[in-house]
Structure 1
Amino acid sequence: MIPRRTLLAAAAATPLATLTGCASQNLAGYASEKPVLDLAQYFNGTIDAHGIFQGRSGQIVKRFTVVMDCRWKGNEGVLDEAFTYSDGTTQRRIWRLTKHADGRYTGTADDVVGTANGQTQGNAFRWNYTLALPVDGTVYHVDLDDWMYLIDDRVMLNRATMSKLGFRLGEITLSFTKRLP
């Protein structure tokens, strides 16, 4: 879904990019933030999301919307995501999540390589996974460092950094809004 030239140019960036990417947030720094995020509670029902993908330069490469049908049974959740991109293309991703002790979560989806791992503390959730991303007929494995921040009972903001071999390719920003029952 990302133009090949954008992906390849980002991967060929200078080693300076890896130095600027070394600093990272600390999940524990959000432990006392309110409201406390419980993914099983928030991702339950229908959620609308609006997002952008920005390339390395900050230029918006894609805009998209997502309608999510989310449901949980015990510690097992399903997030059925229907994407519509600004170029008219569509995509579907179905996450299967498991809630573990201490705010930890694991998840799988058809286009996720292996298992995604995440954890909540306070109002924040950090999620790491490798995505099989199709670009111009070739599939690239890209890493996502995904952060979500609960603002209130209906709104959550999401920011993810996409990288390949340690080089930052771009950022994804999303705003989630939970529909009222």
Structure 2
Amino acid sequence: MKKWLLALSLAVLAGCGAPGVQDYRDAQPALDLPQYFLGTTDAWGMFQKRNGEVVKRFKVVIEGRMEGEQLVLDERFAYSDGSTDRRVWRLQRQADGQWRGSAADVIGSARGELAGNALNWRYSLLLPVDGTTYEVDFDDWMFLIDEQVMVNRARMSKFGFELGQVTLFFRKRD
């Protein structure tokens, strides 16, 4: 019992010092999601277990378009093991400036807060692994570096315990 309580206390304390998206409100260049993602964007990434081992590498081609007030991101993944996948995000800016999003494998609604050059995106995803589907939580941080390059680091967890990280580099095509 004491070990469980100690682990829970440490997890709570670790989250207390995390930066908030508003800490980046003055960072430039300012990220405008539709402006950045309209057209074609290429991305390269990898998934690492919590011990740092790279498990999977991938490339993504993202086609972005507006459908009314929705930003639609059609993502096509090609993984290092030869498998492929597709996710279509539908994103909508809210009256308070935040973003909400949905995709077929996202549970409920993804929530995003944007400030300056940063977007913090949180959602639960149905993740298939070796014939079993797991519900995992993502805490995504995206940072616009310049007009063409953005870096994304996501923490993947279940029940508050980190499973691994996803790192992505985006490059907008001219």
Match of 1:15 among 7, 14, 36: 7
Task: Please name the residue that 1:56 is paired with.
Answer: 50
Q: 2:109 aligns with which of 105, 115, 118?
A: 115
Distance 1:97 1:137 in 2: 29
In the alignment, the residues of structure 1 paired with residue 143 and residue 134 of structure 2 have an alpha-carbon distance, to the nearest angstrom, of: 28
Give the equivalent residue in structure 2 for 1:71: 65
Task: Give, as a single letter, the amino acid of the residue that structure 1 aligns with 2:167.
Answer: T
For 1:107, the aligned partner's letter is G
Aligned length: 167
Q: What is the CA distance between 1:19 and its match in structure 2?
A: 5.2
State yes or no: 1:167 paired with 2:161.
yes
Residue pair 1:49, 1:65 contacting (<8 A) in 2 also: yes
Q: Is the 8 A contact 1:67 1:82 kept in 2?
A: yes
Q: 4+ residue stretches of structure 1 with deviation over 2 A?
A: 14-21
Unaligned runs of 5+ in 2: 1-5
> What is the RMSD computed on CA atoms of the aligned residues?
1.6
**Structure 2 residue identity aligned to 1:41:** Q
Distance 1:135 1:20 in 2: 31
Residue 161 to residue 98, structure 1, CA distance change in 2 (3 Å): same
The secondary structure found in structure 2 opposite 1:42 is helix
Unaligned stretches of 5+ residues in structure 1: 1-13
Equivalent pairs: percent with the same residue? 54
Matched-pair contact (CA < 8 Å) for 1:56–1:170: yes
Instruction: Give the letter aligned to residue 77 of structure 1.
Output: L
Match of 1:30 in 2: 24
Letter in 2 for 1:165: F
Distance change (3 Å), C-alpha of 1:119 and 1:19: closer
Structure 1 residue 100: Cα displacement:
1.7
- TM-score of the superposition, structure 1-length normalised? 0.87
TM-score by length of 2: 0.91
- Give me the whole-angstrom Cα distance separating, in 1, the residues matched to 2:150 and 2:96: 21
Deviation of the 1:50 alpha carbon: 0.2
**Per-residue displacement from partner, 1:93-113 (whole Å, max 9, x unpaired)?**
000110123431100000001
Aligned 8 A contact 1:18 1:168 in 2: no
Matched residue type, 1:18:
A
2:149 to 155, 166, 170: 155
Q: Is the 8 A contact 1:118 1:125 kept in 2?
A: yes
Amino acid at match of 1:42: Y
